[in-house]
Amino acid sequence: MCMRRGDPRFSNLKGISDLAKALAEGNLVETYLLVKLTLILPVATTTIERAFSSMKYIKDELRSTISDALLDFCLVCYFEKETYTPNFVVSNWRTKDSGALVVLKSRGPSLIR
């Protein structure tokens, strides 16, 4: 608010995008980064809370009897619902030759014995 009264560049701002442009043009880089961090932080916090909530749900549903590898597999499938459909997961759950668990990660499937 202090900037709005003291500097004419900040008097006709319509929204957050105008504020970001004015801060960038006015060499107020530190202030711009602070505003940006203030806007991003709630989104990141919500995403992290969802991840822990999902992990708790999966861990509770399986009654804490699963290994870390299986928990990792379940979480990847849970978060990547669009990529890993139920049919894809079921068809790739175990390999036919070795019976090793196939863990699907973003870089591709990997085997865990």
- Going from N- to C-terminal start, the domains of the chain cover 1-65, 67-113
71 in Cβ contact with 58 (< 8 Å): yes
Would you state the pLDDT for residue 19?
76
Would you state the pLDDT for residue 98?
46
Q: Which amino acid is at 108?
A: G
Would you state the pLDDT for residue 2?
46
Q: End-to-end alpha-carbon separation of the chain, Å?
A: 61
Take residue 13 and report the two structure tokens written for it. Answer: 């701002």
This prediction has a pTM of: 0.33
Q: Does the pLDDT value for residue 65 go beyond 50?
A: yes
Q: Does the pLDDT value for residue 11 go beyond 60?
A: yes
Q: How far apart are CA 99 and CA 13, in angstroms?
A: 63
